[in-house]
Structure 1
Amino acid sequence: MLLNMWQWVVLTGKFWERHGAEVESFRHYLPGDFDNPPQNPAKKINSHYKAQEYLTYIFGYLPGLLYNILPLPYWQHFCKLVCGIRIILQRTISTKELEMAHQLLLEYCVEFEVLYVQRKASRLHFVYQSIHNVIHLAPDTSQSGPLSIMSQWTIEHVIGYLGALIQQPSNLYKNLSEQGLRQAQINALLAMTDLCPEITELPHGAIPLGNSYVLKHPQDPKATMMSTAEV
């Protein structure tokens, strides 16, 4: 009964299942550098969803997927969050962009209580601390720099990479330290001298973007039968 009173509850039943299938189908169109494309949220969101999947799903897919599905006031409110967070996650941010992000996130925070809580004490549990946390993102960026370059993505990747190199489980931490030291020495050599060979040929379908960046075409990990439409 309560769900019928909440106008924002739109992804239920068959709509939720169809939404999940759409999200899963998008993984074939993501660039290769998206190492964790979102899985079907209808099946995996409560158990196997990674942080990177949430970022792509919420701040990449949902604005388009919820258009004309979520009632307009709620959709516009959600888009303020998406726009503000996208700016905050940039590696370079102008003062004007940062001011706009701060304004959008302030409006999102205030309007969340108006739209969802509606000043009702019975709905106070809707307001998680993370809702109010967004109003600090822009000031923290102004003080410390872009927050994306201080995230844990880099160190998590390094830990995973070094862990895969361990060959002596009987002396785990000593081996991990040696692998870290060796990688640091290699990085230092590559930084001091021009030891990296230049890539003269690009993979099939790749597009040069300049500044040593290349957009690669997505590839299937294994051979599959082509559909009639593809043929």
Structure 2
Amino acid sequence: MTLNCYNIIDGTAIDYMHCVLLGITKLLLSLWFSSEHSRDQFYIGRSASRVDKRLEEIQPPSCITRKPRSISKHMKYFKASEFKSFLLYYSLPLLSGILPQQYWDHHALLVIAIYNLLQHSVSPHQLDLCQTLLTKHCYQFSRLYSERYMTANVHLLLHLPDNVRQLGPLWAYSCFSFEGQNGILKNLVHGTQQVDKQIISTYSYIRSLLLAAANFSDRTCEQHFEAFKQLYFKHNMPEQRCKVLENVYLLGKPTRTNVTETELLALSTYGLNQTCKYLRIIFHGFQIQSFQWKINVQKRNNSAVAYRPDRGGLEYGLVQGFFVVEEGSSPKVYVTLTKLLKHDSVQLQMQSHPHWQIPHITACVPPTSSSLTIAIPLEHILSPCVYISFSDVQCVYLAIIVNLLEKD
């Protein structure tokens, strides 16, 4: 390279979508479940039906676009986003007690490292930890799975921390955004002839609409533009949304019939006596909804959140409702939650490396009718969570969404 300002080593990004998800995660699943490895210690294909049953019981939030599918029937059709959800959120709870412990511990090294490298920001301490975890993962890979599977993707894991140190978190330059833009371009084509002209023509039309919309403050103009986006980009815009705070929108109409006495008692700790609540909001681009919201509840769970109270560490809960209070010049939103207690005797932990914690997945006691209801300000919520519950396990798992920026 003749560019003095460009270093081909430090300036070239490793795409984790192809390296980690479509490369290593897919390889591991093939090793674990393919019958050609039936004599190996890591083979768990005989437990495939149990794994599939657990997968079917998971109700991911709407921000995870694809629901879990059967590994035995559909793995060869998995998209990169499905491997991502499996790696970061499902795999450790799912395979606990099924994958032999030394292989589960080895896989946990990869999960913790990739989760850290995908966060909104990554500290120097986290980078050093990830380097240690990935080095140990790669060192043990040949011993556990044989040198035959020491692929280039496995080697590239060693360079990911330096990649993040030079260029930023893995989500900042992954191929997910480019694949998403390809989907948008595809929606601009409505025929088989002269595809290039169709894209140019539709794009020019969109630009002219944007310029025209900037000259109008009329609400009708905005509604027409939203309808246009639905037509061309298949956006599912809510019927009614109201902005209350930056990056926070209330959805639908408020209700007075579903406010419980325990919610009123919880709100009274803030001196509030609200009887009008909302069941859904958009929070930094993610939908959070009350578990009382009945639409699509059999397939999705958008009520699980992680929050941090004024004093204390990270806590978890299931949203009951949202209450808007006018305080001075700006409104304030309070959330009522069913508090989830952390399980005393069940937590995911590596037996071979007990000093390394799995920070983003926590085992909690399943909620009951007697669970405590609390109220917190909306700003205490940190992130939506994946709520994982298996019929053969006496706890539930809460996995924190890795960041609020990268979409599937």
* TM-score normalized with structure 1 length: 0.76
Q: Deviations over 1:48-103 (max 9, x none)?
A: 21010011112211111111222222211110000001111223211211221111
Q: How does 1:40-59 map to 2 (within 5 A)?
A: 40-46=70-76, 48-59=77-88
Q: How does 1:186-197 map to 2 (within 5 A)?
A: none
CA distance in 2, matches of 1:131, 1:113: 10
- Matched residue type, 1:16: A
CA distance in 1, matches of 2:80, 2:180: 13
Aligned residues of 2:63 and 2:286 also touching (Cα < 8 A): no
CA distance in 2, matches of 1:213, 1:79: 27
State which drifts further: 54-63 or 192-201. 192-201
CA distance in 2, matches of 1:161, 1:73: 43
Q: Specify every segment of 5 or more residues in structure 1 that has no aligned partner in the other structure, as ranges.
A: 118-123, 223-231
CA distance in 1, matches of 2:109, 2:212: 45
Q: How does 1:67-216 map to 2 (within 5 A)?
A: 67-117=96-146, 124-183=147-206, 199-200=241-242, 201-203=250-252, 205-207=279-281, 209=283, 214-216=287-289
State the shift of 1:22 in Å.
1.9
Q: How does 1:19-34 map to 2 (within 5 A)?
A: 19-26=51-58, 29-34=59-64
Q: Deviations over 1:83-126 (max 9, x none)?
A: 00111122321121122111111111011123332xxxxxx312
Provide closer, same or farther for how the CA distance between residues 34 and 127 of structure 1 changes in structure 2, counting only shifts above 3 A. same
Q: Which residue in the other structure is 1:226 paired with?
A: none
- Matched residue type, 1:40: S
Provide closer, same or farther for how the CA distance between residues 156 and 102 of structure 1 changes in structure 2, counting only shifts above 3 A. same
Q: Does 1:36 align with 2:79?
A: no
CA distance in 2, matches of 1:192, 1:111: 62
CA distance in 2, matches of 1:104, 1:96: 12
CA distance in 2, matches of 1:100, 1:191: 48
Secondary structure at the counterpart of residue 296 of structure 2 = coil
Provide closer, same or farther for how the CA distance between residues 173 and 44 of structure 1 changes in structure 2, counting only shifts above 3 A. same
State which drifts further: 104-113 or 154-163. 154-163
State the shift of 1:199 in Å.
3.2
CA distance in 1, matches of 2:155, 2:213: 44
CA distance in 2, matches of 1:193, 1:136: 51
- Matched residue type, 2:74: K
Secondary structure at the counterpart of residue 193 of structure 2 = helix
Q: Which residue in the other structure is 1:9 paired with?
A: 43
Q: Specify every segment of 5 or more residues in structure 2 that has no aligned partner in the other structure, as ranges.
A: 1-35, 224-239, 243-249, 253-277, 299-408
Secondary structure at the counterpart of residue 69 of structure 1 = coil
State the shift of 1:214 in Å.
4.2
1:62 is matched with which residue: 87, 91, 96? 91
Secondary structure at the counterpart of residue 44 of structure 1 = helix
Q: Which residue in the other structure is 1:227 paired with?
A: none
How much is the aligned-residue C-alpha RMSD, in angstroms? Answer: 3.4
Aligned residues of 1:8 and 1:70 also touching (Cα < 8 A): yes
Q: Which has the larger radius of gyration?
A: 2
* TM-score normalized with structure 2 length: 0.45
- Matched residue type, 1:220: N
CA distance in 2, matches of 1:139, 1:205: 44
Provide closer, same or farther for how the CA distance between residues 106 and 167 of structure 1 changes in structure 2, counting only shifts above 3 A. same
Aligned residues of 1:84 and 1:104 also touching (Cα < 8 A): yes
CA distance in 1, matches of 2:211, 2:123: 32
